[in-house]
Homo-oligomer: A and B are copies of this chain.
Amino acid sequence: MTKLKLAIAGLGRIGKIHLENLLQTPDVEIVAATDPDEGSLQYARDKGVPFTTDTFEEMLGGTQIDAVLICSPTDTHADYVELSAKAGKHVFCEKPLDLSLARVSEVLETVKDAKIKLMLGFNRRFDKEFRKVRELVKNEAVGIPHLVKITSRDPGAPPVSYIEKSGGLFLDMTIHDFDMARFVVDKEVEEVYAKGAVLIDPAIGDAGDIDTAVVTLTYSDGTMAIIDNSREASYGYDQRVEVFGSKGMVQSNNNFHDSHKLYNNQGIHAALPLHFFLERYQEAYKTEMKDFIKGLSNGTMMPVDGNDGLQSLKIGLAAIKSIQENRPVKISEIG
């Protein structure tokens, strides 16, 4: 059997994770890598990647490849997806495709025309906790869903410089929760009401963003979702989902360092949640790559596609508009 030939663009933190996971995936070889940083290219060569270069175009043309992983900075995503599509390569791209709705639509058009497969990196869809919630909802274990509750809090805020380019809390962080809201009940959101505040760091407010938020989503059938976000949970990464329905409720919890309970005269003490996404989603990243490879190999649909990126972006843009105008915003008002 001939192995799938993959190229990887961007060898930052997440690019390296995917590279390492793919090195352990059967029937796959990483044939090329690109990154502007020579150290990262050396890292790739040490891992056995035969062809490395500092330009995306050279990587794309330099060797025979089946698919490209795009893990480079957000502002390169749209261009790289287009270039790959035009070259007939399948693509895995970290989210978001772009912060502009028009640009995303354009890219998806190109992808469609090129008939390539595109998978987006909403890594949480591959986490066993959320998969279990979705599976139980799908199997009607909770009956008809009425309420979805998503808690998503980071252990610490990113640098303001990051926030200035990321599109802000709703587009760099909550966008995962918007996707989760669609994922767990498999329905489209119709309206968004968002409320935000700067409660952690005034510098975030100065940069025009918020650090704490509550978002109410309404699906077309009246089901509602609530998301609560914070850039800084002192106890670590907080990632919980609850779905309440006509027949019951399902909750998923955080993942913890270990299960110990220490009883002493002060109370009972237990370990903290895993600190951040690298720890919490370590297995999810592996599953994500396996599912990408599966999607490439057989004729099935990709588990997260361009439309998933588009819908979450729309919800995010509606949330921003909702904050600005302090009113509920219909998704249909966006784009």
Interface status of A249 (Cβ within 8 A of chain B): yes
Interface: A307 (CB within 8 A): no
In the bound complex, CA of A170 to CA of B61 (Å): 63
> Which residues does chain B contribute within 8 Å of A198, judged by CB atoms?
222
Of the residues B199, B222, B252, B261, contact of A260 by C-beta under 8 Å: B252
Q: Are A257 and B128 in contact (CB under 8 A)?
A: yes
- Closest residue to A128 on the B side, CB-wise? B258
Nearest opposing residue in chain B for A232, CB measure: B246
Copies in the complex: 4
Does A1 touch B at the CB level, under 8 Å? no
The reply to whether A250 and B267 contact each other, CB–CB distance below 8 Å, is no
- Chain B residues whose CB sits within 8 angstroms of the CB of A146 once the complex forms: 197, 199-200, 212, 230
Complex-state Cα separation, A197 to B247, whole angstroms: 17
Contact of A136 among B248, B260, B327 (CB under 8 A): B260
Determine how close the nearest CB of chain B comes to the CB of A234; give it in whole angstroms.
5
A216: B residues at CB distance < 8 A: 193, 195, 214, 216
Interface residue? A259 (CB, 8 A): yes
From known contacts A147-B214, A257-B128, infer whether A271 and B264 are also in contact, taking CB-CB under 8 Å.
no
A233 cross-chain contacts in B, Cβ below 8 A: 244, 249, 263
**A235 interface hit (Cβ, 8 Å):** yes
Contact of A251 among B149, B200, B223, B260 (CB under 8 A): B260
* Contact status B244-A144, CB under 8 Å: no
Classify chain A's interface size: 35 or more
Q: CB of A218 within 8 A of chain B?
A: yes
Q: Which of A195, A212, A272 has the most CB of B within 10 A?
A: A195
**Which residues 279-303 of A have a CB within 8 angstroms of B?**
none
Do B224 and A249 touch (CB < 8 A)?
A: no
Residue pair A261, B250 in contact (C-beta under 8 Å): yes
Q: Mark A228-256, 1 if CB is under 8 A from B, else 0.
A: 10101111001000001011111111110
Q: Does A143 contact B (CB under 8 A)?
A: yes
CB <8 Å contact, B132 and A235:
no
Cβ–Cβ contact A147 & B230, under 8 A: yes
In the bound complex, do residue A251 and residue B247 qualify as a contact, i.e. CB atoms below 8 Å apart? no
**Beyond A147-B212, A147-B230, A234-B247, is A270–B267 a contact (Cβ under 8 Å)?**
yes
- Measured between C-beta atoms, what is the minimum distance from A281 to chain B in Å? 14
Indicate if the CB atoms of A244 and B259 lie closer than 8 Å: no
A–B complex contacts, Cβ < 8 Å, 29 sampled? A24-B24, A132-B258, A132-B271, A136-B260, A142-B262, A146-B199, A147-B212, A147-B228, A147-B230, A149-B228, A193-B195, A195-B216, A195-B224, A195-B328, A214-B216, A224-B228, A226-B228, A233-B249, A234-B264, A235-B248, A247-B265, A248-B263, A250-B260, A250-B261, A254-B259, A267-B270, A268-B269, A268-B270, A269-B270
A residues lining the B interface (CB < 8 Å):
24, 128-129, 132-133, 136, 141-144, 146-147, 149, 153, 193, 195, 197-200, 212, 214, 216, 218, 222-224, 226, 228, 230, 232-235, 238, 244, 246-255, 257-272, 326-328
